[in-house]
Amino acid sequence: MKRLLWPVLIVIVLGLAVFGLLTSPAFLDETSFLEQTGNADRGKTVFDASGCASCHAAENADEESHLILTGGKRFDSPFGTFIAPNLSSDVEMGIGGWTDYEIANAVINGVGPQKQHYFPAFPYATYNKMTLADLADLVSYLRELPASDVKNQPHEVSFPFNIRRNLGGWKFLFASDDWVMQGDLSDELIRGRYLVEALGHCGECHTPRNALGGMKRGKWLGGAAHPSGKGRIPNITPAALEWAKGDIVEYLTSGFTPEFDTAGGEMVEVVENMARLSQSDREAIAAYLLALPSVE
Ligand code: HEC
Ligand code: HEC
């Protein structure tokens, strides 16, 4: 009996060690991050392109109030409902009391000040491709936004998905920092790829997911079920989106399609954010979409 028990114990201990390694949080290199000097003006572009306000502003926020990041928006998913936290500069209720390094780690590693993993409803597994310079600029900009004392609400997620430690395993499996579009790209495509694959997190909505919520990168931007279970988010690869470059740029500027329809659903806020970017950035996004492999 004893002879049998030892190998079993060893397997359990090794298993726990591997689980511990795989699920322990990763951190940004502090020295390289602190070498950056953030610029809030440039940070505004990073903030708009990344759509932070689309999730962290209050429900139905308008042009004026979208910079008050009170939190409270609800995101239904197959795993439960996530509720966006207060991201304002309030010291008590927001992130005003956090260090720059803590904010940076949350955005690109999905790890909080208590070393807890964040749920991937916060798209850090996409922001992980953000440059350190952009990250520092973004943090400087967040510091300048108004405070709001709205209290955070707990997520409505049940066992086993509410165990934050397990998210380390999710990150290990799905948080890739490789680019999807590879090869020798023009400067415009490199910028477009950065805006789509990193900041704009277009794939978080437009790419289908597996049962564990990981993006199916082989079907990149090929259209997906809406996470709430209602409706679909369109395929935006050339197989389905038969628009010219100018049509895509127009859509990202005004929301008008070539058929004189207007953008609906979550895309309304994405378009508002894209409209705040430069014309050349919208052109870069359009060029990237046109260069995508078709997903049928
Ligand atoms: C798709 C919606 C979405 C977008 C876009 C988004 N977030 Fe979040 N964010 C969330 C959710 C949901 C959480 C809560 C995660 C958790 O508790 O595990 C969160 C958590 C955070 C936290 C941790 C706050 C705390 O109190 O612990 C920070 C910091 C943060 N987000 C910053 C940002 C920044 C900066 C951006 C833009 C670059 C951004 N988020 C974009 C949904 C989003
Ligand atoms: C929060 C989810 C979400 C994100 C993020 C998102 N989209 Fe969308 N997108 C949608 C939805 C939903 C629609 C359908 C809109 C409608 O019904 O009018 C859509 C529609 C579109 C369309 C029009 C497709 C058509 O056939 O009418 C384009 C083009 C598009 N998105 C591009 C992008 C790009 C580029 C990005 C990243 C910068 C992006 N989207 C990010 C949800 C999203």
What is the pLDDT of the chain when averaged over all its residues?
Answer: 95
Token duo for residue 244: 């010219």
Question: What integer pLDDT is reported at residue 185 of this predicted model?
Answer: 98
Q: Which pLDDT band holds residue 228 (cuts at 50, 70, 90)?
A: confident
Query: Would the pLDDT of 4 be above 80?
Result: no
Q: Is 51 left (phi over 0), alpha (psi -120 to 50) or beta?
A: left
Token duo for residue 56: 């962290």
| Nearest Cα to Cα of residue 135 among 47, 41, 203 | 47
Q: Per-residue pLDDT tens for 159-183?
A: 989 999 999 999 999 999 999 999 9
Question: How far, rounded to the nearest angstrom, does the alpha carbon of residue 165 sit from its chain's CA centroid?
Answer: 20
Q: Which residues line ligand 1 (CB under 6 A)?
A: 50-52, 54-56, 75, 82, 84-85, 87, 95, 103, 106-107, 112, 118-119, 121-123, 127, 138
Question: What integer pLDDT is reported at residue 1 of this predicted model?
Answer: 67
Mean local confidence (pLDDT), 5-12: 81
* Nearest atom in ligand 2 to 226's CA: 12
Token duo for residue 256: 């008008």
159, 79 contact by CB (below 8 A): no
> What is the whole-number distance in angstroms between the Cα of residue 104 and the centre of ligand 2?
27
Q: Which residue's CA is the nearest one to ligand 2's atom 10?
A: 267
Q: Which residue's CA is the nearest one to ligand 1's atom 31?
A: 122
Please tell me the number of the ligand nearest to residue 54's CA: 1
Question: What integer pLDDT is reported at residue 5 of this predicted model?
Answer: 80
Mean local confidence (pLDDT), 255-283: 97
Query: What type of residue sits at position 110?
Result: G
Q: Is 183 left (phi over 0), alpha (psi -120 to 50) or beta?
A: left
Q: Which pLDDT band holds residue 229 (cuts at 50, 70, 90)?
A: confident
Token duo for residue 13: 């201990």
> Quick one: what percent of the chain has pLDDT higher than 90?
88
